Structure 1
Amino acid sequence: MASEGQHINLAPLLSLLQEMPAYRQLVGELSTVEGEHKAIVLDTAKPYLIAALYEELNLPLMVVTSQPESARKLNEQLRAWCSPSAELHRLPELDFLPYGSSQLSAVSYQMMERLRALATLALYDKSGKPPLVVTSALAIMNRTIPKTDFATACHILKPGVAAEPLELMRRWQSLGYEMEDVVEVPGQMSRRGGIIDLFPPCNQSPVRIEFFGNQIETMRCFDPESQRSTRPVSSVIVTPVKEFLSQGNNYEATDGNIFDYLGGDALLVLDDPEGIELTINRLNEETQELRDARIEKGELPEDSPSPYLTWEELESQMHERHRLALVTWDAGVHRQPLPFTGARSYGSQLERFLKTARQMVEQRQRVVVVSHQANRLAEILRKEDIHTSPLSHVEQIPPSGSITLLQGSLDGGWLLGDRLTLITDVELFGFVKQPRAGRKRPVPHQWFLPQLAPGDYVVHVDHGIARFHGLARMSSDGMEREYLVLEYAAGDRLYVPTERMDRISRYVGAGDQAPHLSRLRTPEWQRTRKRVEESVAEIARGLLDLYSAREVAPGFAFSADSLWQQELEASFPYMETPDQVEAIMTVKEDMEKAKPMDRLICGDVGYGKTEIALRAAFKAVMNNKQVAILVPTTVLAQQHFITFTERLQTFPLRVEMLSRFCPPEKERETLEGLASGTVDICVGTHRLLQKDIRFKELGLVIIDEEQQFGVVQKEKLRQIRREVDTLALSATPIPRTLHMSLTGIRDMSIVETPPEERLSVKTYVGAYDDTLVRQVVLRELERNGQVFLVHNRVQSIAWAASKLQDLVPEARIAIAHGRMPEEQLEKVMTDFINGEYDVLVTTTIIQLG
């Protein structure tokens, strides 16, 4: 169960620390003296120290941090320092609301990670590589299933093992697995004759088990989307679907804790013990406050247990363990700090780095540089006669007087005496590229049926507009089937088998007026369809004329990427997702062709569409072309303006903004700059489409959320598309735009890979509760997040904000609604975006961007 994924490997460098006297003294004490030990070490060197201890002691290690984010970062750093065979796992906190009504209802990504870590700890028998588990204060507070119960429930499947299929499936059902026709997400199973598909939550992918009688013959992983087998597997660990074997949320049945899973010889590492204690006490206070309020209202019994362990309970468990506290400074530690010192910062001044690099080589220092711009650095160093090539891993300790370049990311550098100098992007450029590229997580395919409610209007392709009445089960020829019940005019009903519901779609009409129901057994619907088809054909002819004209129209062929383009892309502070990379490459290919580009980038909010647009814009400017970025709202214009300005500040480009909030003098300067060519990129609302706008050399138009523009603006955009490259961004493309993309009239790229650690939106529906609102807001503030409170009555919105301020006096609260003066609304929204407020009490105006 070793961690998967491609990472740099620096494990051979661990021996440089392991040979040093201060480290040897620490290891000696850990090996002979029970109880708590302390080590003074730089924050950025903690992953290096932990990896060295793990590889040398060969014992199970659990590292606890004060915050979930620091646990996530530490886990990523340890991937680089530990050997590839390390059993490295992260134990995240459970994402649920204490005493909520909808908690732990589905197998989440966090729960999968937790089960993987618990299984590794519970099944460790000292025969293989010991587990190294990274967790946080919040995660160790969660009660869990006792180790003995969990280990008993887990079992291992292997080819050649005797097993009765029905008996296995009954056992899996008791562990929470659900029978489905097709296995797509964790916690599901299905059977087709002698083949069983199973998706254990601790597995990265589902497994297909083929039986020969009552014996497992083969096991293969398969892709949950294509359902195709991918590779054989030698064994599979089957765990419970959740940490709770009983039905419901019975906390008394989950009286175990994470320390039960540690063997007697395990080492517990506490990163920032004081911060851990503060976090645990704060959350327990908030939970106790919520519990007392629920008991007072009669919603909980007085003896209702807490879902969290208290600090006293955890402290007593910790005191029974062999433990090491990592601190950055402590007057009570009578030992010299480990010999780490901070690395020098170069602040993007590569000349300073080159000068220092020459000196370090001359002084016979051993230098390792870990950077996402390793290729660029190698070129620069070669010009200085320092020859080195970027590597993906270190095979042996580099010689003194050398510089080793590795393509990757670490959170910071340091000096280990005179033995090693580690330099990262933090020292070179002032930032670190965050690992955010994620796997495509399995999501079950769903029709629109779950979104329908009785009374909704639908359209049947063959029979027309009807009112949905719900589902009904009926028997036919001895078989029971499920039907959708549709009501037509004159009370007629049509029963549609669920397997034919692809013939039905939700009715979407203009305005709120209810549509007329179609009549069955009349030609009315066919006549309507014919009129619509004729109208669509006319529109299609116009569109085909437009797009055929584009095919033959001469366009500008942009040149290949410049060195500056490479520098810009290397400065992106996140790892690109696979879909982002593919979309960026496709956009560049379109731009380098001698015909106008017209591409739609479709992806959810936060999936990286803006970065794709930014790189396209920069490519255009590098070819001496101007870029117009059209957005539907002033707030969105401000956001894009800030993003483009910050990302391009190190390049000699001029970025401006045009909206109704621009002062007249500033607007005049921008218009003159567009006409003269001194403004390279202009972000604006529909103001950019007005007649007085003149570009000297417009080469690219980027349109964000085109569906929010009006008819007049869209006609102007349609004409623009004949002449220049166009890139549209949308999270929700209008049906016509989407259909044009799907049928090939318009090119489309889909960005559907979520960034790593991006969590899905969770919705809880329940009665309003002051205590719960306070807890939810505080929980978001603890993770440095922000909150929208939607109150859809302008008349009482000030009262709602005042009430929330009384509930959560710690929060900074602002109000925004559509009847505010435009300048005031603009300032509030901008301040909220910039983090000046924690909570925005607003109306549904937020849906406009």
Structure 2
Amino acid sequence: MTKASVLRPPFPPAANKDLTWQELHGSAPALAIAKLIDATPGRVLIVTADANQAYRLEQEIKYFAGEHTEYHDDITLFPDWETLPYDSFSPHQDIISDRLRVLARLPEAKRGALIVSINTLLHRIAPTSFVQGQALQIEKGQQLDSLKLRQQLENAGYRHVNQVMEHGEFSARGSILDLYPMGSQTPYRLDFFDDEVDSIRPFDPETQLSKDPIEGINLLPAHEFPLTKTAIERFRANYREHFEASTERESVYQQVSKGQLPGGIEYYLPLFFEETASLFDYLPDDTVLVTFGNIQASLERLWQDINHRYDQRQFDPLRPLLHPNELFLPVDNIHAGFKQYRRVRANVPAEMAQPGPTPFLTEAVTEIAADHQQKQPFAKLKTKLEQALANNDKVLLSAESAGRREALREIVSKLGFPVTLCSGLEECPTKQVGLIISPIINSFYLPDAKLWFITETELFGNRVVQSRRRQQKATVSADTLIRNLAELQAGQPVVHLDHGVGRYQGLTTLDAGNVTTEFVTIEYAGGAKLYVPVANLNVLSRYSGGEESHAPLNKLGNDSWEKAKKRAAEKVRDVAAELLDIYARREAKPGYAFNINEEDYQRFAAGFPFEETIDQQAAIDAVKQDMQQPRAMDRLVCGDVGFGKTEVAMRAAFIAVNEGKQVMVLVPTTLLAQQHYENFSDRFADQAIRVEVLSRFKTAKQSKGILEDLSNGKVDIVIGTHKLLQDNVKCHDLGLLIVDEEHRFGVRQKDTIKR
């Protein structure tokens, strides 16, 4: 049997005939569906039992299909609103943008697959003519009245803002119009010459810098319903047919009548149309249907939830509710929609499975999980690899990122196996272990292809998949941070290196030497304005001198700014002299160079249930490097809430304790001390490491015992407030001090630490 026949699933039968795929283990169903899509000349509709399955399947199917297939971009997820029925808040703009992009593309796509959860499929949506009918094509050289365009954008639901940052926003200044079309990966900057579109350029919303010009863009509506005067009148008429028109200012009726959109307006969508549609209406008759999981159970549960929410919320006079059948497809309609297509049932619960063929033979992969409490935590993996290679099987180990793949390579190499980096299944080597980067979650074995597909998820345990809207960004240099004006609004103060404090008034396009250039406009005292070329934004920084509304503006041509800089420089020199004295004495003292046991460290790091971000990994590496140097360490780790600073600290603490040293964690509040104690205790639960906390929640007797054990070396990590700096706190062999929220400690307390 050839590889092609092994990996080609049976084609489904005629309409109204179901085919059940059986015995597909791990992530093999995604592989089978990918091969089905490849064998199908038309469209495939994949319906999952829940939204998480839909998102995971999209990632896995796209991987198995291959990025170079002609229909790769048309394997798309139609995302759920991620709101509960009858919620009073609206979906995130990015979700609406993705949904509109998919709806606009569906009539044009000839192949590929649409992936949707049964919850999302239940919703009634805009008719098929709406999205493309409301779209606006803009091309370079087109005659277009910019004022009329702004009105069209507002009618389409776009929001006028000072600075474009999110989907559905636009801003105008002079001949420049910035807008972020729904469904687009980037915002665009339109430059008008009279009533002609002179240029269209993508731009970076973070830096506001434009890129190379393009020929045209397609503007989709900002919502899944129209906001024209006709549509609003239709809404008002339909509303009055259903409910009594409310005169209350905060009512849904009054807000929409004024052109305002209250939160949760999506649950009044049918009132904007003469009739609604479903996703079934967007797909051709020859579509192949794949249902994934227990769809019937999900349908029953969803309708119970819908009816329950309706019963709970139907008595609010300001927000009367449409009947569930007007917003959601009844179960009979779903079944009728399914019956019009050729259907495959995949991943059906065993008790519900009907006799059917197997797309290709698969086996479950068991007994591979690492056991970090054993001396050889990867013994099971080693045994599995030995058996596979001895049988001339091919083995692929899958990691979630390049960094995770490197960690896997080190582990497999230490187990004594040759390793090759691969880009996919087709490159899987023999007599070696192939390492790939993929989103595949679950392992499986293909006996006919003699291929093992082992994922790090099952090797190290469950890992958390990041939100699909959270895109990891590359490391940003300090210069870029200085150039970033995205968080500034018109009127906010900024500081120019040579001219002092002024107020940012946005971007302006000016002619300079027969060249049209963008400038940042800064207004100073007396109304004087300074124009700074965008290429010189490194001379600007944010104002941090207190209340922004009372920022003292400098005067252009005045020497007050130079005098202020001189006074500041003198104070800086005084402080610097004191700091130099402190650090000179610290540098003169020899520090402790930690020897990091990489095998122990990797076992501990594998217990982190998230994928490290680029910045987080950079901080971890920097701290590790510091700890290996024979000098006193003084490292600042700075990041927003949720950045993962605590994990950086925990890994440093592990390195220290693993070397026999003690760790002290200093925090500003008792509550934070208790939170850290719980987090550290959970993280070190599998280690022979004792974590204690000194706080007011401990009795005097308990505190005394902890202090004694700390001085005797029986406590490895101690967490507490500034009381840890008192003279009665003695450590047996302190190797690392971690200060959380160091800005909340006073100068004298910091001096105590550093001296």
SS at 1:182 equivalent: coil
CA distance in 1, matches of 2:335, 2:17: 13
Deviation at 1:603, TM superposition (A): 0.9
2:314 counterpart residue number = 292
Report matched runs for 1:546-561 at 5 Å.
546=579, 549-550=582-583, 553-554=586-587, 556=591, 558=593
Q: Choose from 253, 256, 260 the match for 2:281.
A: 260
CA distance in 2, matches of 1:233, 1:551: 57
Report matched runs for 1:782-797 at 5 Å.
none
CA distance in 2, matches of 1:498, 1:98: 52
User: Does 1:37 pair with 2:37?
Assistant: no
User: Does 1:48 pair with 2:31?
Assistant: yes
Q: Is the 8 A contact 1:409 1:424 kept in 2?
A: no
The 1:95–1:398 alpha-carbon spacing in structure 2 relative to 1, beyond 3 Å, is closer
Report matched runs for 1:205-216 at 5 Å.
205-210=186-191
The 1:537–1:666 alpha-carbon spacing in structure 2 relative to 1, beyond 3 Å, is farther
CA distance in 2, matches of 1:234, 1:615: 51
CA distance in 2, matches of 1:237, 1:548: 63
Q: Is the 8 A contact 1:655 1:679 kept in 2?
A: yes
The 1:498–1:395 alpha-carbon spacing in structure 2 relative to 1, beyond 3 Å, is same
Deviation at 1:504, TM superposition (A): 9.9
Greater relative contact order (CA < 8 Å, ≥ 6 in sequence):
2
Q: Is the 8 A contact 2:368 2:384 kept in 1?
A: no
User: Does 1:20 pair with 2:6?
Assistant: yes
Q: Unpaired segments of 5 or more residues in structure 1? A: 1-14, 451-460, 463-493, 509-516, 518-532, 724-849
SS at 2:101 equivalent: helix
Deviation at 1:172, TM superposition (A): 3.2
Q: Choose from 134, 148, 164 the match for 1:153.
A: 134
CA distance in 2, matches of 1:395, 1:707: 51
Q: Is the 8 A contact 1:631 1:684 kept in 2?
A: yes
CA distance in 1, matches of 2:489, 2:172: 23
Aligned AA (2:277) = G
Q: Choose from 330, 334, 358 the match for 2:386.
A: 358
SS at 1:545 equivalent: helix
Aligned AA (1:52) = K
Q: Choose from 164, 173, 185 the match for 2:144.
A: 164
CA distance in 2, matches of 1:657, 1:503: 36
Q: Choose from 398, 420, 436 the match for 1:406.
A: 436
Aligned AA (1:345) = E
Report matched runs for 1:248-397 at 5 Å.
248=261, 249=265, 250-251=268-269, 252-253=271-272, 255-272=276-293, 273-294=295-316, 299-300=319-320, 306-326=326-346, 327-331=348-352, 333-338=354-359, 339-348=361-370, 349-371=377-399, 373-382=404-413, 385-391=416-422, 393-394=423-424, 396-397=426-427
Report matched runs for 1:216-235 at 5 Å.
219-231=200-212, 233=214
Aligned AA (2:601) = Q
RMSD between superposed Cα atoms in Å: 4.5
CA distance in 1, matches of 2:699, 2:178: 64
SS at 2:384 equivalent: helix
Larger mean Cα displacement after TM superposition, 214-223 or 350-359: 214-223
SS at 2:106 equivalent: helix
Deviation at 1:185, TM superposition (A): 2.0
Q: Choose from 96, 100, 117 the match for 1:111.
A: 96
CA distance in 2, matches of 1:330, 1:305: 31
SS at 2:289 equivalent: strand
The 1:539–1:696 alpha-carbon spacing in structure 2 relative to 1, beyond 3 Å, is farther
Larger mean Cα displacement after TM superposition, 188-197 or 694-703: 188-197
Deviation at 1:333, TM superposition (A): 1.0
Query: Normalised by the size of structure 1, how large is the TM-score?
Result: 0.64
Q: Is the 8 A contact 1:550 1:596 kept in 2?
A: no
Q: Is the 8 A contact 1:97 1:103 kept in 2?
A: no
Q: Is the 8 A contact 1:375 1:390 kept in 2?
A: no
Report matched runs for 1:135-146 at 5 Å.
135-146=116-127
1:522 counterpart residue number = none
Q: Deviations over 1:500-521 (max 9, x none)?
A: x98996599xxxxxxxx9xxxx
Deviation at 1:412, TM superposition (A): 1.4
1:77 counterpart residue number = 60
Deviation at 1:592, TM superposition (A): 5.6
CA distance in 1, matches of 2:650, 2:81: 36
User: Does 1:574 pair with 2:610?
Assistant: yes
SS at 1:628 equivalent: strand
Larger mean Cα displacement after TM superposition, 189-198 or 533-542: 533-542
CA distance in 2, matches of 1:153, 1:302: 25
Q: Is the 8 A contact 2:666 2:739 kept in 1?
A: yes
CA distance in 2, matches of 1:687, 1:503: 32
Aligned AA (1:413) = S
User: Does 1:683 pair with 2:719?
Assistant: yes
CA distance in 2, matches of 1:332, 1:623: 55
Report matched runs for 1:481-500 at 5 Å.
none
CA distance in 2, matches of 1:431, 1:334: 32
Q: Deviations over 1:729-771 (max 9, x none)?
A: xxxxxxxxxxxxxxxxxxxxxxxxxxxxxxxxxxxxxxxxxxx
Aligned AA (1:183) = V
Q: Is the 8 A contact 1:198 1:208 kept in 2?
A: yes
Q: Choose from 142, 158, 181 the match for 1:200.
A: 181
Deviation at 1:308, TM superposition (A): 3.6
CA distance in 2, matches of 1:504, 1:143: 53
CA distance in 2, matches of 1:551, 1:260: 75
Q: Is the 8 A contact 1:551 1:595 kept in 2?
A: no
Q: Deviations over 1:244-300 (max 9, x none)?
A: 212543422252333322222323322221343134213311232134333xx5752
CA distance in 1, matches of 2:369, 2:43: 40
CA distance in 1, matches of 2:126, 2:393: 52
Q: Is the 8 A contact 1:120 1:131 kept in 2?
A: no
Q: Deviations over 1:439-492 (max 9, x none)?
A: 469996366999xxxxxxxxxx99xxxxxxxxxxxxxxxxxxxxxxxxxxxxxx
CA distance in 2, matches of 1:577, 1:201: 28
SS at 1:597 equivalent: coil
CA distance in 2, matches of 1:661, 1:504: 39
SS at 2:420 equivalent: coil
Aligned AA (1:325) = R
Q: Is the 8 A contact 2:37 2:112 kept in 1?
A: no
1:628 counterpart residue number = 664
Seq. identity, %: 24
CA distance in 1, matches of 2:593, 2:99: 49
1:466 counterpart residue number = none
Aligned length: 629
Aligned AA (2:79) = P
CA distance in 2, matches of 1:290, 1:433: 33
